[in-house]
Amino acid sequence: MDDALLDKLEILADAAKYDASCASSGAKRRTGGPDGIGSTTGAGICHAYTPDGRCVSLLKILLTNYCLFDCAYCINRRSSNVRRARFSVDEVVRLTLGFYKRNCIEGLFLSSGIIRSPDHTMEQLMLVARTLRRDHGFAGYIHLKTIPEASPWLIEQAGLWADRLSINLELASDRSLKEFAPEKDGTAIKAVMGQVGERITEAKEEKRRFSPAGQSTQMIVGADASTDLSVLETSDTLYRRYGLRRVYYSAFSPIPEASSALPAKPPPLQRENRLYQADWLLRYYGFTVEEIAAGGEGGMLDLGIDPKLAWALKNRERFPVDVNSADREMLLRVPGLGARAVDKIVEARRHTTLRLEDVARLSSGLKRARAFLIAADHHPGGLTDRADLRQRLVAPPKQLSLF
Amino acid sequence: MHRVDLKDGADLDGFRRALRGLVALGVEPGEVVWSVGATPSLFGDDATLPADAPPVSLPRPVGALIENVVCHRDPERYALLHRLVWRVLRGERDMLDHHADPLVHRLALLDKAVRRDLHKMHAFLRFHEVRDPDGTERYVAWFEPDHFIVEATAPFFVERFESLVWTILTPVGSLHWDRRSLTVGPAALRPEGLDRDDRFAEGWQRYYESTFNPARVNPTAMRAEMPRKYWANLPEAAAIPAMIRSAPARVQAMIEAEAAAPRRRNPDKAVAAMARQEPVTLAELNRIILAADPLVPGATQAVPGEGPEGAAIAIVGEQPGDQEDLEGRPFVGPAGQLLTRALEEAGIERSAAYLTNAVKHFKFVARGKRRLHQSPTAGEVKHYRWWLMKELSFVRPRLVVTLGATAALALTGRSVVGPAGTRADGVRRLGKASSPSTRPTCCACRPARGRKQAYRDFVADLRRAREGGGRGGLTASTGMIEYSMRSSHDRDRTS
Ligand code: SF4
């Protein structure tokens, strides 16, 4: 690796870091064998964490940060004055293999600014994946960003080699998209999601490989006026209609070379965090978008407490819940109890009548849960309905408190 | 009282042997002293335990838990496991589901700690490249795990780096893989100067610094997942303090910086040119098709369509066959010859028609020397659909004759089933190629007389196609689609 390549790496990693998706999960178990290199484990591995608390799992880079588009929220838009660079297909392959062999990464996350044409760009991305897989027997993880403006056949080829495809929606509403990303077209993006979704389902049924870890997308929050409600409604549609695996939320972050069209303000990190929690409730806890939104005010989530607690505080008549008899659905709604803890409770109570100390062994969120739970030796009494319950439960704010 | 001496580290074999003996004698957990790593007692293993006691049968999750927990550093681990096994064998077979039980809970914590340690070693171990004098690349790593997990991590590294030669050194044991076999070695000392001259190590650090977003600095979250104790062996971690220190100033600078006017020249022309990306001629499209990889596996090459642009009739088959695959031209195999004959009989000159296939690659299974045709799946057909539609948009035929269900599916996006309940899926799963009716019509399964009839029907269909009619009176397996640009999507009509 020479100095020039190091410089490019720096530029093109810097340019890619605003994409929140880094997961290397969801791929089927696979190994490269004696002639190839690498493996996928299913759950994915974070090989490092940067001081922003984010996981480094894939080599996340752009093929190039030259771009013909002019999306206001993006550091690589054509009107920005950032330093530009461009990798060759071969350079990306070399970097990926070099870092992989040193056990620094699970694989590659490759995106790109749009150069020459969407088709040309998409083809280069596809060629990187193809070279890794076909010429080097690379069995690690590959996440390719799809260029929605590219021809369908290219996207179909990309799916042959990638573990995951993603297309960023970036902004929840078509109107914002038109305003901030003039060359992009919300309808076209969704059409491609539909196409990819269909191919993934068919391939699964026919037991073929096509983007086996599904597709994902990202939405930027805080750059436009979209409410949390409208963001979550969009996510809900994406999950249901296009079978997306994940929607990532990326708090709009001040960027060097910011466009004057956008607010230069510190990122609403807590908002992003609350959206992830809400997304979780949507997918694994049986909540609807309306229920989640009703926990906040005016379509915005409560930034001070997590959305499950917010919902519970507004629906106190449904509590307390008996840990020894309530059904799983209702236990999932108890603040402080995660899905894993609930499953353990359901299993454990077949053997014994649970007391509070038993619950404490099963869940780390008991402090919060006790106001909403009845156990063999515990009843919250009037606690559930106390006006100051919220104050009592809110701990000093902690980043990424999981519930 | 029984005394069991086990080796230092994770002595799974020793524990298993002892456990078998203890179970065979019915020794209660309270009557055993487990001693680990001490100088072996004068008499070696407890001589009172039978050496060849039979295996103990345990539920699978219990076995898995034991394998993990023996790796833990906790000196009580063996005693705890013995208590677990004792209770399981006394009737509490699904005891592990009893998550609130204090013993189960304690063991679950040990299990979790070991799993976390395994995971962190998979994640944070870094290999350094060492070039041998003869030029072979070798990889060496130094890691300090919390528990006795070195052997337990071996399958992961062997699987992932099977094709490399590598060595993992730790204070509690080492592993060496030579691309064929694994050697487990003794504890090692930290080697000196591992990352000397490794540009990739330098590149990795640069990458790590660049992928960090100073506007989101959150060292607490970082340390929760990557505690300080790992930093010493992570080359990139050296940069962490400076990254955190400089973050606020970097963000402030970004916020204060006035949005600058773009320096670059107006790229309108390039932006306009960008829209012209689709192939504009058939030849260009064919170049793309030829260069692309098969979406169904196996083929030698893609087989593009053949015939004049502007042909009145386009004939779409399922996919190239064995011979087509070798020659790279459509309809040259036995079935193709049959089609040529049928066309002739119907008064259509082969060279005047446009011949192509719904799927451009041959799909087969190898049976000895023979390659047996396999029908493409509906999903595979759809992968190729865009090319087919594009192709027809250049040829602009008046009529498209689809041979079999696959072609019909490709063109209409719907599957078409023949009236007699036979799925009309054409070409190659038919009988012997010499028999006339094996070609385009659908009827491999029909008796010989039926085949002849089918062939006659097919010729009649083609004749009707030549005469420009398509509606009514067609047989099940030949579809005709009036082709127009407007109908190039799902709105087509099949007969
Ligand atoms: S297309 Fe838009 S979001 Fe993507 S790199 Fe170009 S400017 Fe950025």
Report the pLDDT value the prediction gives residue B61, as an integer from 0 to 100.
94
Q: Is residue B402 part of a domain?
A: yes
Indicate if B480 and B370 belong to the same structural domain: yes
Decide if pLDDT at B489 tops 50. no
Report the pLDDT value the prediction gives residue A300, as an integer from 0 to 100.
92
Decide if pLDDT at B333 tops 70. yes
The SS3 of residue B370 is strand
Strand partners, B6: B36
CATH classification number, A316-393, choose in 1.25.40, 3.30.70, 1.10.150, 1.10.10? 1.10.150
- Report yes or no: B242 at the A interface, CB cutoff 8 Å: no
Report the pLDDT value the prediction gives residue B210, as an integer from 0 to 100.
95
Indicate if B109 and B166 belong to the same structural domain: no
Decide if pLDDT at B426 tops 80. no
Report the pLDDT value the prediction gives residue B455, as an integer from 0 to 100.
82
| Residues in chain B, total | 495
Q: Is residue B321 part of a domain?
A: yes
Q: Is residue B413 part of a domain?
A: yes
Decide if pLDDT at B73 tops 80. yes
Structure confidence at residue B172 as a pLDDT band (50, 70, 90): very high
Nearest CB partner across the interface for B100, out of A13, A41, A361: A361
Indicate if B131 and B92 belong to the same structural domain: no
Minimum CA–CA partner of A196 in chain B: B383
Decide if pLDDT at B112 tops 50. yes
- Give the mean pLDDT of B100-123: 96
B379–A206 C-beta distance less than 8 A = yes
Structure confidence at residue B434 as a pLDDT band (50, 70, 90): very low
Cα torsion B453, B456, B457, B458: sign: positive
Residues B175-213 have pLDDT tens digits of: 999 999 999 999 999 988 787 778 898 999 999 999 999
- Report yes or no: B207 at the A interface, CB cutoff 8 Å: yes
Mutate to test the interface with B, among A104, A149, A269, A337 (most CBs of B within 10 A): A104
Least trusted range by pLDDT, from B16-30, B39-53, B360-374? B39-53
Indicate if B148 and B9 belong to the same structural domain: no
Decide if pLDDT at B137 tops 60. yes
Report the pLDDT value the prediction gives residue B104, as an integer from 0 to 100.
95
Q: Is residue B251 part of a domain?
A: no
Q: Whose CA is nearest to atom 4 of ligand 1?
A: A113
Identify which has the larger pLDDT, B274 or B126: B126
Nearest CB partner across the interface for B274, out of A117, A156, A348: A117
Decide if pLDDT at B319 tops 80. yes
A37–B159 C-beta distance less than 8 A = no
Number of domains in chain B: 4
CATH node for A3-258:
3.20.20.70
Domain range annotation of chain A: 3-258, 316-393
Show which of residues 110-139 on chain B sit within 8 Å of chain A, judged by CB atoms.
119, 122-129, 139
Nearest CB partner across the interface for B213, out of A17, A103, A120: A17
Structure confidence at residue B450 as a pLDDT band (50, 70, 90): low
Mutate to test the interface with B, among A3, A19, A25, A103 (most CBs of B within 10 A): A103
Report the pLDDT value the prediction gives residue B443, as an integer from 0 to 100.
31
Ordered mean pLDDT values, 10 residues apiece, chain A (403 residues)? 93 91 83 93 91 94 93 86 94 97 97 92 96 96 93 90 93 87 87 91 89 92 89 94 92 76 70 94 95 92 93 93 95 95 94 92 90 93 85 65 45
Indicate if B24 and B92 belong to the same structural domain: yes
Indicate if B107 and B143 belong to the same structural domain: no
Minimum CA–CA partner of B107 in chain A: A361
- Give the mean pLDDT of B377-391: 90
Q: Nearest Cα to B457, choosing from B482, B430, B475?
A: B475
Q: Nearest Cα to A192, choosing from A159, A225, A163?
A: A159
Nearest CB partner across the interface for A253, out of B159, B201, B213: B213
Question: How much is the pTM?
Answer: 0.87
Nearest CB partner across the interface for B259, out of A41, A59, A258: A258
Cβ(A146) to ligand 1 under 6 A? no
Distance A147 CA to ligand 1 centre (A): 10
Indicate if B40 and B155 belong to the same structural domain: no
Distance B270 CA to ligand 1 centre (A): 15
Distance CA A118, CA A123 (A): 8
Indicate if B288 and B374 belong to the same structural domain: yes
Q: Residue B123 has which token pair?
A: 């994640």
Which DSSP helix (H) or strand (E) runs through B343? helix B334-345
Decide if pLDDT at B91 tops 80. yes
- In chain B, what percentage of residues exceed pLDDT 70? 82
Distance A85 CA to ligand 1 centre (A): 15
| Shortest distance, CA A133 to any CA of chain B (angstroms) | 12
- Report yes or no: B272 at the A interface, CB cutoff 8 Å: no
- Report yes or no: B200 at the A interface, CB cutoff 8 Å: yes
Distance A77 CA to ligand 1 centre (A): 5
Q: Whose CA is nearest to atom 7 of ligand 1?
A: A77
Cβ(A77) to ligand 1 under 6 A? yes
Indicate if B471 and B428 belong to the same structural domain: yes
3-state SS string for chain A: CCHHHHHHHHHHHHCCCCCCCCCCCCCCCEECCCCCECEECCCCCCCEECCCCCEECEEEEECECCCCCCCCCCCCCCCCCCCCCECCHHHHHHHHHHHHHCCCCCEEEEECCCCCCHHHHHHHHHHHHHHHHHHHCECCEEEEECCCCCCHHHHHHHHHHCCEEECCCECCCHHHHHHHCCCCCHHHHHHHHHHHHHHHHHHHHCCCCCCCCCEEEEEEECCCCCCHHHHHHHHHHHHHHHCCCEEEEEECCCCCCCCCCCCCCCCCHHHHHHHHHHHHHHHHCCCCHHHHHHCCECCECCCCCCHHHHHHHHCHHHCCEECCCCCHHHHCCCCCCCHHHHHHHHHHCCCCCCCHHHHHHHCCCHHHHHHHEEECCECCHHHHHCCCHHHHHCCCCCCCCCC
What's the whole-number average pLDDT of chain B? 82
A17–B211 C-beta distance less than 8 A = yes
Distance CA B30, CA B39 (A): 23
Cβ(A114) to ligand 1 under 6 A? yes
Chain A residues touching residue B93 (CB < 8 angstroms): none
Cβ(A67) to ligand 1 under 6 A? yes
A81–B263 C-beta distance less than 8 A = yes
Q: Respond yes or no on whether the N-terminal peptide bond of residue A320 is cis (omega within 30° of 0).
A: yes
A99–B203 C-beta distance less than 8 A = yes
Q: Is residue B260 part of a domain?
A: no
Q: Is residue B252 part of a domain?
A: no
Indicate if B109 and B141 belong to the same structural domain: no
Our mutation pick for probing the ligand 1 site, out of A12, A79, A114, counting the most ligand atoms within 8 A of Cβ, is A114
Residues B266-279 have pLDDT tens digits of: 667 777 777 778 88
Report the pLDDT value the prediction gives residue B45, as an integer from 0 to 100.
54
Distance A65 CA to ligand 1 centre (A): 8
Decide if pLDDT at B165 tops 90. yes
Q: Is residue B392 part of a domain?
A: yes
Chain B residues touching residue A60 (CB < 8 angstroms): 211
Distance A112 CA to ligand 1 centre (A): 8
- In chain B, what percentage of residues exceed pLDDT 90? 52
Q: Whose CA is nearest to atom 5 of ligand 1?
A: A113
Indicate if B117 and B130 belong to the same structural domain: no
Q: Is residue B107 part of a domain?
A: yes
Structure confidence at residue B415 as a pLDDT band (50, 70, 90): low
Distance B75 CA to ligand 1 centre (A): 57
Minimum CA–CA partner of B377 in chain A: A206
Report the pLDDT value the prediction gives residue B449, as an integer from 0 to 100.
55
Q: Residue B112 has which token pair?
A: 């979790």
B126–A350 C-beta distance less than 8 A = no
Structure confidence at residue B40 as a pLDDT band (50, 70, 90): low
Chain A residues touching residue B98 (CB < 8 angstroms): 347-348, 351-352
Distance A176 CA to ligand 1 centre (A): 15
A117–B277 C-beta distance less than 8 A = yes
Report the pLDDT value the prediction gives residue B440, as an integer from 0 to 100.
41
Indicate if B152 and B236 belong to the same structural domain: no
- Give the mean pLDDT of B416-422: 36
Structure confidence at residue B490 as a pLDDT band (50, 70, 90): very low
Q: Domain of B223?
A: 199-244
The SS3 of residue B173 is strand
Cβ(A74) to ligand 1 under 6 A? yes
ipTM of the complex, rounded to two decimals: 0.89
